[in-house]
Amino acid sequence: MEEATFSLALDAIYDAATEFERWPLALERLGQAFGCSYVGLIDRNPRTMEARVSAVGIDLAGQQEFFEVWSKHDILRRRTPVYRPGAVETDQDILPKADLLRSDYYNGFMKPHEMHGYMRMTLAVENEFRRIISLSRPISLGDYEAADVEQCRRLTPHLQRAARVNQQVEESKLKLAAFSDVLEQSPTGVLLLSGTGRILFANCAARAMAQAADGLVLRGQRIEVLHSQGNVLSGGERRRVEIARALATEPKFILLDEPFTGIDPVTIEEIQEILFRLKKRGIGILITDHNVAATLRITDRNYILIDGKIIAQGTSKEIAAIPPRKTVRIPVMLEAVVRKSCCVKTVKSSSPTAVRCRWRRS
């Protein structure tokens, strides 16, 4: 087997690890590598004989024929006393070739489907299931030889690893489905979000609440604000939406331009609490605002500017202690920074006075 063919097979095998539905491509690559007319992955419960199959080289009617008619006559399975995980075996390792060629199984099922040479990889054997990959090639290509077995042994550890991951993923999906069913019945709205704001799960109650809310909708994996409803949002609601939109890009710094302007005192406190939580997450925040009192309550470092020149700097207490100048109006612009080692350039303002404030990570 060429290395390029081997690499293509590996890529397909590990792609199949996350979804059982991707196994046909992996099996097709195996078939191309070994000249197979048929390749099948079978998950079988040895107690009930129930099975799940992914196969290439045989149609659904052929698979149904095998399970309904020929499975109980499978001489290769019946002549296998023990399935050993990691084993790679040809038909001649299992039984004499002459016995196979004389069997009803070979003449009634294998031969009509152009299966002559047979090779099997046992990936896993546990109490509740047995997972194997079977390969067959037509009589024109002859039997599998030692070189084919050796190449299969190179692939077997990767196939076992992919099969193990696939099983764990399937079990996790079943647990999540059961958990989702419980949450789906809850009258309380449940919305699960990833760290990037993507919706992982929303139950019926949450979807109903979103539809009833003014200006909000769950679309795909995102929460969207309807533009047509923007004019009915209050000032505080608009501030929250602006912050949420900024956080959706996972920024290291955000700039808030006058976040405390035009909102009531209660909402100002709520916005301040949001900014404190962002500070604890290590997000850098620059605030410019003319509401001096509201801004100084949450900043760590401040700079007062007049016509682009710093006339005072210090903590919030130090700035508040500066005597007012009778000749200078004090509409103030404030900027705050949370992250360490940040460089903030002077911000020019048309206002007579501006304050720049820096937060330090606690």
- How confident is the model over 203-229, as a mean pLDDT? 59
Q: So what's the pLDDT on residue 248?
A: 72
The full DSSP string for 162-218 is HHHHHHHHHHHHHHHHHHHHHHHT-SS--EEE-TTS-EEEE-HHHHHHHHHSTTEEE
Domain positions in the chain are 3-177, 186-232, 247-357
Q: Of the ranges 35-39, 50-54, 101-105, which one carries the lowest mean pLDDT score?
A: 50-54
Predicted confidence band of residue 6 (pLDDT cuts 50, 70, 90) = confident
C-alpha 185 chain-centroid distance? 25
Please report, as a single letter, which amino acid is at residue 204. C
What average pLDDT does the chain have?
Answer: 78
DSSP string spanning 61-125?
HHHHHIIIIIGGG-HHHHT-S---TT-EEEHHHHS-HHHHHHSHHIIIIIGGGT--EEEEEEEEE
Structure tokens at 31: 């078939």
Lowest mean pLDDT among 20-29, 33-42, 186-195: 186-195
Residue 359: what pLDDT? Answer: 45
Q: Which CATH class is domain 247-357?
A: alpha beta
Give per-residue pLDDT as tens, 238-256.
Answer: 777 788 777 777 788 888 8
pLDDT (tens digit, 9 = 90+) per residue, 311-359? 888 888 888 888 765 444 444 444 444 433 333 333 333 444 444 444 4
Rounded to 5 degrees, φ, ψ at 320 are: -65, -25
User: Which residue's entry shows tokens 């067959």?
Assistant: 136
Non-local (6+) Cβ contacts of 240 within 8 A are 271, 274
Q: What is the Cα–Cα distance from 291 to 299, expressed in whole angstroms?
A: 12
Residues 6 or more apart whose CB falls under 8 angstroms from that of 27 comprise: 39, 40, 41, 54, 55, 56, 133
Mean pLDDT score, 183-210:
73
Instruction: Count CA atoms within 13 Å of residue 58 on its CB side.
Output: 30
How much is the pLDDT for 141? 92
Instruction: Give me the pLDDT at residue 114, please.
Output: 92
> SS3 of 302, please?
strand
The one-letter amino acid code at 214 reads D
Is residue 353 packed enough to be buried (19+ CB in 10 Å), middle (13-18) or exposed (0-12)?
A: buried
DSSP state string for 275-296: HHHHHHTT-EEEEE-S-HHHHH
Read off the tokens for 223. Answer: 């929460």
**Higher-scoring residue by pLDDT: 237, 117:** 117
Give dist(CA 16, CA 54) in Å, integer: 11
Above 90 in pLDDT, residue 79?
yes
pLDDT tens digits, residue range 120-172?
999 988 876 788 999 999 999 999 999 999 999 999 999 888 888 887 887 77
Q: Which pair of structure tokens corresponds to residue 310?
A: 């710093």
pTM: 0.49
Q: Per-residue pLDDT averaged across 78-93, rounded?
A: 92
pLDDT in tens, 258-317: 888 888 888 888 888 888 888 888 888 888 877 878 888 888 887 777 787 888 888 888
| Position with higher pLDDT, 187 vs 111 | 111
Q: What percent of the chain has pLDDT over 90?
A: 20
| pLDDT for 20 beyond 70 | yes
**Per-residue pLDDT, 334:** 47
The 10 Å Cβ neighbour count of residue 114 is: 16
pLDDT of residue 240: 77
CA distances to 14, 52, 323 from 20, in Å: 11, 10, 73
What phi and psi, each to the nearest 5 degrees, are found at residue 279?
Answer: -60, -45
Domain 3-177: top CATH class: alpha beta
